[in-house]
Chains A and B, each alone.
Chain A
């Protein structure tokens, strides 16, 4: 068990591309940290550098206070779980799990005992004498975890360990991973491209984009106070709605109508030296069917009416897609997010607004509906650099969690 410190760690490939740029990160002993971002953001490269599978171009990596930049993976005492599981096909489950222990030259009795323990924790005992080829995906995944935990390493590194499982099993294994990590209390770095996994698993989440860290913090903080457009759009499902907005004489002119700017936002905008063209961000759950909003709440928000495109009833809520006129918000970050979601070439004429309304709402497809949204929860972003202009002072941009 150990802490892991990345001190201005960078990775430049021989062809000149920079995969990871000046990453500063302190991972405390026993902490569960998630690296998340779209593909190509450098999260796997970062993990591989911690493991020692990739050389570090510049900066320093310390495990347990020791500089390990030049140490081979085998001397770092870390265990890694791969997306492909990377089980040795010629060995049985038992031999797979015993492999690191045999290499460490432990005696037979100790090896047998440790393997049996790990197998029990992961419910692999009946499968110990099978070959990986005769296991299901979920079982292979557990064997890969078993091989990592038998050694009691200083840290676990996991590279999208659940991505090859089907959706249902993935949710199930998520809790297994989480419980296991808490039980063992081993420092864990977990890479994923799935923001749901990131939100549910980690103590802290590191959001990366283009090789640079965007924001580090507990999941809820990232969700409530994203410090830029990219984080805001990446975290949350369905993702935040973005609309172009203009500041004019104390009001905010948007496709949802003119909205008065409250004291809080005015103060923040003045302090931030904001441009007049902004991007307005509202999360789907901050909308509500206007009929269901009481007078008291109504005053804290604004209302607009729009044609209802599609209603998806989830049982607990209704996802309602509204069509609003007006241009789409445009910024480099948003295009990247759209490209990652595979929706770059799939832009409708009007910007579609995703809202999450109460299940009691009687909204139907095709009608015009009045919808209320909470002004206290809106975010305003600077389109030129993506910065969130409406962060509370208690949460200055870019501050890592305590």
Chain B
């Protein structure tokens, strides 16, 4: 009996009252207002709050040290001209690095490639992952084996998997190389991108399926039974009952995958190393920062990636109403 916390007996009365006034709805904002209007805290409450803060402090400090500091430091670096090849020319230049990057055609090509990879892989992963989740959810015989088999790609280190894909597509020795043409697929832009996306999808679909399976478990069996006696076909049960109930889980899965996909690096590094305009933003940031030793421009790119990812997360949480992971109010009822 979810959400029905009224004690026995009170329910009847509440029932009646609701019929007349719709009382319950009115009660909710009143409660909220109460919470917002800061009543002076009692001594006990304040001590409790102090203890809470103290208990959080170590974790907060560690977080600050390992994420806060690097972020701030790279923002600081991005505001400087700082090339390790010419250390003497280090100088504060304000937003000039941002102008350089944002007016650069390589950046925008990489940005486009990244967007393409993100959208295509996440969309395909969602569809395949849903299928896989349904299979794993419904399997009665050999459930353990099916689930384990489905999760194998996710268990393999990305770089290792990427190498196996590279060898598979290498002309002469690879078992996939001559599948479509006699050429070398990893030397052309379109086919390279397709292979990168294939490798990404192969690798992360199981993760998507895992997240979606958790969502499937949230759909009560009775709901599907009710839908089928109400006259729904299997497809209608899926689209009109399952998907809406699973929506929070789907959005969380999409959010996770989108953020991950936007930072795609390993597969590109191994498969093409960014040749033929197949670099992602992470890839060119790496090239500038580590290979080119240009700390200023590299940091600028990193900060831009950070901002983009933050925007994506913001859009998901605020516009689509994704329950931020860990919060339990959201839409999950």
Contact = CB atoms under 8 A, between A and B. Distances in A.
B229 A123 contact: no
Nearest to A82: B222
B12 A168 contact: yes
A166 interface: yes
Contacts of A131: 333
A137 B229 CA distance: 22
Given A82-B225, A139-B15, A147 B8 contact: no
B228 A123 contact: no
B12 A147 contact: no
Interface stretch (B18-26, B123-131, B249-257): B18-26
Nearest to A103: B231
A130 B333 CA distance: 14
A51 B226 CA distance: 10
Interface in A131-159: 131, 133-134, 136-140, 147, 151, 157
A137 B1 contact: yes
A90 B8 contact: no
B109 to A, nearest CB: 42
Interface string A76-114: 101110111010111100000001100110000000000
Given A74-B231, A79-B229, A139 B8 contact: no
B330 to A, nearest CB: 12
Contact of B220 (A74, A84, A157): A84
A80 B226 contact: yes
B224 to A, nearest CB: 9
A135 to B, nearest CB: 8
B229 A74 contact: yes
Nearest to B233: A74
Given A51-B229, A80-B229, A99-B230, A138 B1 contact: no
Nearest to B219: A89
A157 B8 CA distance: 27
A91 B232 CA distance: 15
A126 B333 contact: no
Nearest to B7: A166
A77 to B, nearest CB: 9
B220 A166 contact: no
A241 to B, nearest CB: 31
Interface stretch (B73-81, B158-166, B240-248): B240-248
B11, B15, B226, B333: most-surrounded residue (chain A CB, <10 A) = B226
B22 A126 contact: yes
Contacts of A140: 4
A72 B230 contact: no
Contacts of B31: none
24 contacts: A53-B228, A74-B230, A78-B229, A80-B225, A82-B222, A82-B225, A82-B226, A83-B222, A88-B226, A88-B244, A90-B244, A90-B245, A90-B247, A99-B227, A103-B236, A126-B20, A127-B22, A136-B4, A136-B14, A136-B15, A140-B4, A164-B1, A168-B11, A169-B15
Interface of A: 48, 51-53, 72-74, 76, 78-80, 82-84, 86, 88-91, 99-100, 103-104, 123, 126-127, 130-131, 133-134, 136-140, 147, 151, 157, 164-169, 172
